[in-house]
Structure 1
Amino acid sequence: MLIIHAKSFVKPEFKEEYLEKVNVMIAGSRKEEGNVSYSLFQDTENENAFMMVEVWRDAEAVALHEKSDHFVQFVTNAKEFFSAPLELKVFAGEEAKLS
């Protein structure tokens, strides 16, 4: 599995529009075959900071996601929303076996 953490800092004047657009993108992403989960979290100390946490079956699923209409449309339009560069981290891993 691939786990992606994408932290974004949104300009205050674009927060509502960002949330509308990201909601559409997340809804579409959750329907993709290779998506395990896709969530958005808002920082409790900075209301304009958000973390997307995505879990994908494999790299092929991520590649298909990055070509999807909802993703391309969001990325194309979202650049104006951000006050700082996106912080992106990608992890390869498996779910831990807990006893």
Structure 2
Amino acid sequence: MIILNVFFTVKPEQESNFRTLMTHLVSQSQKEPGNVHYQLAQDVFTPHHYTLIEHWKDDAAIEFHNQTEHFLSFLNQASQLFSEDVVILKYINE
């Protein structure tokens, strides 16, 4: 299994837009073949910080996800949302 943790710092004025886009992205991604877990979590200590926790069957499932309409739509709108670079950490759980 492949685990991705994606860390976002959202501009305060974009938080509502971010949550709307993420709600759609999460709901659609959870339906994909090869998806084991897909969840957004908000940091309780640091305002506007979020972590997207993704568990995928394998790299092929991630490649499929990265070509879906809902993911590409999110990417097209994402650049205006963040006050810092997005950080992605990838783990393998064997």
TM-score by length of 1: 0.93
Distance in 2, matches of 1:14 and 1:64, equals 28
The one-letter amino acid paired with 1:73 is S
Q: Which structure has the larger Rg over C-alpha atoms? A: 1
Question: How many residue pairs end up in the alignment?
Answer: 94
Q: Could you say which residue in structure 2 is the equivalent of 1:97?
A: none
Q: CA RMSD in A?
A: 0.6
Alpha-carbon offset, residue 47 of structure 1: 2.1
Distance in 2, matches of 1:83 and 1:75, equals 15
Q: Could you say which residue in structure 2 is the equivalent of 1:28?
A: 28
Work out whether 1:77 is the aligned partner of 2:77.
Answer: yes
Q: Give SS of 1:44's match.
A: coil
Q: Could you say which residue in structure 2 is the equivalent of 1:17?
A: 17
Alignment of 1:1-99 (within 5 A): 1-94=1-94
- Structure 2 segments unaligned to the other structure (5+ residues): none
Distance in 2, matches of 1:82 and 1:19, equals 12
The one-letter amino acid paired with 1:19 is R
TM-score by length of 2: 0.97
The one-letter amino acid paired with 2:42 is Q
- Structure 1 segments unaligned to the other structure (5+ residues): 95-99
1:32-90 per-residue CA deviation (whole Å, 9 max, x = no partner) reads: 01100001110111120000000000000000000000000001101100000001100
Q: Give SS of 1:67's match.
A: coil
